[in-house]
């Protein structure tokens, strides 16, 4: 059960191959590849606005979710429920923001952030509890909880959290006090981007410089050795890693709801939680690499949106590229032991 | 859809079939020691292929095209997982992303210019004389071919797993591939064959959605049924009888959505949609999680061959 943690050069080569394969598929499907490529490039990098308001804005949740996935994977927990934890975080943030609407902006924003962390962490804690108490594997529980979360959001935006006129399946629009400030005037990049950068730096520091990070990596590398030689409780470490992973995913949900959409609605996540797996692996589960991979997938998503508008290619094509990247990485000669034997089930 | 008991039986049986077919395939592959999450994507791409073939050559061709597509998609999974010994859950997730994205792209490329949603003819209901006339449960015996295929495959797989040397080898690959190798068998070859079988059944399940039920294709048509099939296998304690019962439980849970809609009660639709997933988690917890799983499930083989 090993995965390769690629070097930067290998990652770039793999990305080029994946994009190339996608181009061949598009060509076979009868699209004008040159036009698609041109539209994608302009959508992702064509102007300052494209870079800031499209690529970096989209990279923000992907970086946070990529870090969330990397934290879990490093500790040997296969958390494929980042999507559900993201939605749980966004839901809690929106509820808290609306509840605190009359307070000064810092109070509203801090309340929203804390609620987001709590929402994502508790959704992950549910999976952790199901494993420790009932031996339900995380792979199954986190996956199923994604669907529960998506349907719960669908219920809430038609029920308790629906906007006051009860006409649309979405929450009330967040008050100005609950909106994350923009980093560049007139552009859509918000303070959440800073959170993503901070998360990358903090995760790097925790993994490389602290005892807790060392214990997590030890459990991920060889749980039995960590327990017998290091006196570490693998179960405890895995539970904590999964809950922290969920909390980080919750921050991503907060950033998206309070920084981009200003409301909760179904389809808030176009599969961010799944793309995040590609982000984490392409980044070699290392925070700096995850940040770089998030910018790539942010650009890919921004480009795919532009292509859907301009050339009529469905934006889902971006997930084909993400999938090819994951498959390519998994086929590399593996060095890093990803998940302990019992963790895979 | 009214709320008559016989309509509910019909709805439950119909909802159980695509999930059940996929779950039979997943049962085979998991007993060989491989967890194939890619069946969700295989189902969806197979549904599209089935729709294309059915519009050209009829619903039977659609069923065949679905099965073939399922095998092709999981063939890629087999290459990555058996030949390159990739982490199975991640490879399966990627295969699903790949096939779902491809089906959306191809659907758009092929049908975006048509104004109205194209439809294909669906397979007729085959009434079993006598049984189909029984009150209430009669509709269970007036179903299209894939439904009977599902129950027949359940019986066939039970016979194969427990009464043949091939089935014994397959179960051994899932419990202790090393021991299997010492008696001169090749676990890698067995797992490759089992993965292909899971693709075949997932493809049949995806095709069933088109040629036995909807008569058309929509993006993300599988809608999580492949993932539910994986849960059904765990729910059924990795046995054919358990898989059939688990699929029926899901069918009943889904048909209750119609009761909710028909009766106009206050249970919101989205909560009803979440019910099957919550039920699975509850059932998994109460039945003891993965303790009945094949001992080697999800692990890559130590050595090629």
Secondary structure letter of residue A265 according to DSSP: B
Cβ under 8 Å to B: A residues 283-312: 312
Q: Do B227 and A144 touch (CB under 8 A)?
A: yes
A338-341 CB contacts, 8 Å cutoff, 24+ apart: A338/A1, A338/A2, A338/A3, A338/A73, A338/A76, A338/A220, A338/B87, A339/A1, A339/A73, A339/A76, A339/A77, A339/A78, A339/A220, A339/B87, A340/A1, A340/A76, A340/A219, A340/A220, A340/A222, A340/A223, A340/A224, A340/A234, A341/A1, A341/B299
Cβ under 8 Å to B: A residues 79-118: 80
C-alpha distances out from residue A18 to A305, A329, B296, Å: 18, 11, 32
DSSP-assigned beta bridge partners for residue B151: none
User: Would an 8 Å CB–CB cutoff place A181 in contact with chain B?
Assistant: no
The distance of A151 to chain B (nearest Cα, Å) reads: 5
- Give the residue from chain B lying closest to A344, CA to CA: B298
Query: Going residue by residue through chain B (305 aa), what tens digit of pLDDT does each one get?
Result: 445 777 888 889 999 999 999 999 999 999 999 999 999 999 999 999 999 999 999 999 999 999 999 999 999 999 999 998 888 888 998 999 999 999 998 888 888 766 667 888 889 888 888 888 888 787 888 889 999 999 999 999 999 999 999 999 999 999 999 899 999 999 999 999 999 999 999 999 999 999 999 889 988 888 889 988 988 898 888 999 999 999 998 888 888 776 766 666 666 778 877 887 888 788 888 876 667 788 888 788 775 54
What is the four-CA torsion angle of A301, B79, B195, B122, rounded to 10 degrees? 50
The CA distance from A263 to A169, in Å, is 11
3-class SS shares of chain A: helix, strand, coil, % to 5: 75, 5, 25
- Give the residue from chain A lying closest to B224, CA to CA: A147
Which candidate, A110, A125, A149, A132, places its Cα nearest to that of A266? A149
- Residue labelled with tokens 């940040």: A291
The CA distance from A251 to B2, in Å, is 45
**Band (A342; pLDDT cuts 50, 70, 90):** very low
**Partner-chain residue, chosen from A2, A155, A277, that has the shortest CB–CB distance to B270:** A155
| DSSP for B150-178, written as a single string | HHHHHHHHHHHHHHSHHHHHHHHHHH-HH
- pLDDT computed for residue A114 by the predictor: 97
Digit-coded pLDDT (tens) for A165-197? 888 889 999 999 999 998 888 888 899 999 999
**Band (A84; pLDDT cuts 50, 70, 90):** very high
Give me the percent of chain A exceeding a pLDDT of 90: 55
User: Would an 8 Å CB–CB cutoff place A271 in contact with chain B?
Assistant: yes
**Band (A1; pLDDT cuts 50, 70, 90):** very low
The distance of B240 to chain A (nearest Cα, Å) reads: 20
Q: Do A26 and B105 touch (CB under 8 A)?
A: yes
- With 0-12 / 13-18 / 19 or more C-beta atoms within 10 angstroms meaning exposed / middle / buried, residue A175 is middle
Which candidate, B99, B3, B111, B11, places its Cα nearest to that of B52? B111
- Residue labelled with tokens 């909710």: B260
- pLDDT computed for residue A341 by the predictor: 40
The distance of B150 to chain A (nearest Cα, Å) reads: 24
Digit-coded pLDDT (tens) for A109-157? 999 999 999 999 999 999 999 999 988 888 889 988 999 999 999 999 9
The distance of A53 to chain B (nearest Cα, Å) reads: 25
The distance of B238 to chain A (nearest Cα, Å) reads: 13
- pLDDT computed for residue A344 by the predictor: 40
Q: Do B93 and A322 touch (CB under 8 A)?
A: no
Q: Residue A14: pLDDT above 70? A: yes
* Number of helices followed by number of strands (H, E) in chain A: 14, 2
Q: Provide the token pair at A272.
A: 């961010």
- pLDDT computed for residue B1 by the predictor: 44
Indicate which of B80, B90, B260 best probes the interface with A, i.e. most A CBs within 10 Å of its own CB. B90
Q: Do B290 and A137 touch (CB under 8 A)?
A: yes
**Band (A59; pLDDT cuts 50, 70, 90):** very high
Q: Do B109 and A30 touch (CB under 8 A)?
A: yes
Give me the helices (H) in chain B, please: 5-31, 39-57, 59-78, 88-111, 145-163, 165-175, 177-182, 187-208, 225-235, 240-263, 269-286
Q: Do B231 and A134 touch (CB under 8 A)?
A: no
Cβ under 8 Å to B: A residues 157-176: 158-159
* Cα A102 to chain centroid, rounded: 31
| A/B interface, count of CB pairs below 8 Å | 173
Which candidate, B28, B42, B22, B11, places its Cα nearest to that of B159? B28
The distance of A310 to chain B (nearest Cα, Å) reads: 14
**Partner-chain residue, chosen from B105, B231, B297, that has the shortest CB–CB distance to A345:** B297
Average pLDDT estimate for A260-282? 91
Using the Cα atoms of residue A69, residue A308, residue B38 and residue B299 in order, give the sign of their dihedral: negative
Q: With beta carbons under 8 A apart, name residues in chain A contacting B274.
A: 147-148, 151-152, 155
pTM above 0.90, yes or no: no
Provide the ipTM: 0.88
Q: With beta carbons under 8 A apart, name residues in chain A contacting B227.
A: 143-144, 147
Which candidate, A286, A305, A282, places its Cα nearest to that of A67? A286
The CA distance from B69 to B64, in Å, is 9
Q: Provide the token pair at A295.
A: 């910018």
What are the backbone angles phi and psi of residue A187, rounded to the nearest 5°? -110, 165
Secondary structure letter of residue A182 according to DSSP: B
- Give the residue from chain A lying closest to B84, CA to CA: A331
Question: What average pLDDT does chain A have?
Answer: 89
**Partner-chain residue, chosen from A1, A29, A318, that has the shortest CB–CB distance to B87:** A1
Digit-coded pLDDT (tens) for A293-326? 999 999 999 999 998 888 778 888 888 998 998 8
- pLDDT computed for residue A336 by the predictor: 53
Q: Do A331 and B284 touch (CB under 8 A)?
A: no
- Give the residue from chain A lying closest to B111, CA to CA: A29
Q: Do B105 and A29 touch (CB under 8 A)?
A: yes
């Amino acid at each position: 059960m090993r995965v390769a943690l690629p070097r930067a050069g290998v990652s770039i080569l793999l990305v080029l191959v994946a994009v190339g394969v996608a181009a061949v598929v598009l060509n076979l499907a009868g699209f004008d590849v040159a036009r698609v490529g041109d539209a994608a490039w302009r959508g992702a990098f064509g102007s300052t606005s494209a870079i800031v308001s499209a690529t970096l804005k989209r990279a923000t949740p992907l970086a946070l979710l990529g870090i969330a996935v990397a934290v879990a994977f490093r500790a040997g927990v296969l958390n494929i429920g980042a999507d559900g934890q993201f939605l749980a975080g966004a839901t809690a943030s929106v509820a808290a923001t609306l509840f605190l609407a009359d307070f000064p902006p810092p109070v509203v924003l801090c309340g929203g952030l804390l609620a987001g962390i709590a929402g994502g962490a508790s959704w992950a804690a549910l999976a952790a509890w199901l494993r420790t108490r009932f031996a339900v594997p995380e792979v199954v529980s986190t996956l199923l909880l994604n669907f529960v979360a998506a349907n719960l959001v669908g219920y809430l935006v038609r029920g308790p959290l629906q906007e006051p006129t009860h006409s649309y399946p979405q929450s009330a629009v967040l008050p100005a006090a609950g909106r994350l400030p923009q980093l560049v005037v007139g552009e859509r990049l918000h303070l959440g981007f800073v959170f993503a950068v901070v998360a990358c730096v903090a995760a790097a520091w925790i993994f490389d410089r602290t005892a807790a990070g060392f214990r997590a990596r030890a459990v991920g590398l060889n749980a039995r050795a960590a327990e017998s030689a290091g006196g570490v409780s693998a179960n405890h470490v895995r539970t904590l890693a999964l809950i922290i992973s969920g909390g980080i995913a919750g921050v991503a949900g907060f950033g998206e709801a309070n920084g981009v959409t200003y409301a909760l609605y179904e389809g808030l996540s176009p599969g961010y939680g799944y793309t995040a797996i590609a982000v984490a692996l392409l980044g070699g589960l290392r925070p700096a690499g995850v940040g770089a991979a998030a910018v790539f997938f942010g650009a890919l998503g921004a480009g795919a949106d532009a292509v859907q508008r301009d050339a009529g290619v469905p934006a889902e094509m971006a997930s084909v590229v993400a999938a090819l990247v994951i498959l390519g990485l998994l086929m590399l000669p593996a060095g890093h032991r990803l998940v302990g034997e019992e963790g895979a089930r | 859809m009214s709320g008559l008991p016989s309509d509910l039986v019909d709805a439950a049986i119909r909802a159980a079939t695509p999930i059940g077919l996929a779950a039979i395939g997943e049962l085979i592959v998991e007993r060989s020691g491989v967890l194939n999450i890619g069946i969700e994507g295989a189902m969806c791409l197979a549904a599209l292929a089935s729709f294309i073939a059915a519009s050209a050559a009829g619903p039977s061709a659609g069923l065949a095209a679905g099965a073939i597509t399922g095998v092709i998609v999981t063939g890629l999974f087999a290459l990555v997982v058996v030949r390159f010994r990739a982490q199975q859950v991640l490879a399966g997730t990627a295969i699903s992303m790949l096939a779902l994205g491809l089906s959306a792209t191809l659907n758009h490329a092929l049908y975006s210019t048509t104004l109205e949603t194209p439809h294909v003819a669906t397979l007729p209901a085959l009434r079993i004389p006598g049984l189909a006339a029984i009150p209430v449960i009669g509709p269970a015996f007036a179903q299209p071919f894939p439904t009977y295929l599902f129950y027949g495959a359940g019986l066939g797989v039970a016979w194969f797993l427990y009464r043949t040397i091939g089935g014994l080898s397959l179960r051994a690959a899932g419990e202790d591939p090393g021991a299997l190798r010492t008696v001169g068998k090749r676990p890698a070859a067995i797992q490759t064959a089992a993965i292909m079988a899971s693709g075949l059944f997932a493809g049949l399940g995806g095709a069933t959605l088109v040629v036995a039920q909807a008569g058309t294709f929509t993006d993300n048509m599988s809608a999580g049924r492949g993932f539910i099939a994986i849960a059904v296998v765990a729910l059924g304690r990795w046995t054919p009888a358990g898989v059939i019962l688990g699929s029926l439980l899901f069918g009943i849970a889904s048909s209750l959505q119609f009761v909710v809609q028909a009766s106009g009660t206050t249970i919101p639709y989205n909560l009803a949609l979440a019910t099957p997933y919550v039920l699975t988690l509850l059932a998994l917890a109460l039945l003891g999680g993965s303790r009945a799983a094949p001992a080697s499930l999800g692990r890559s083989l130590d050595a090629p061959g």
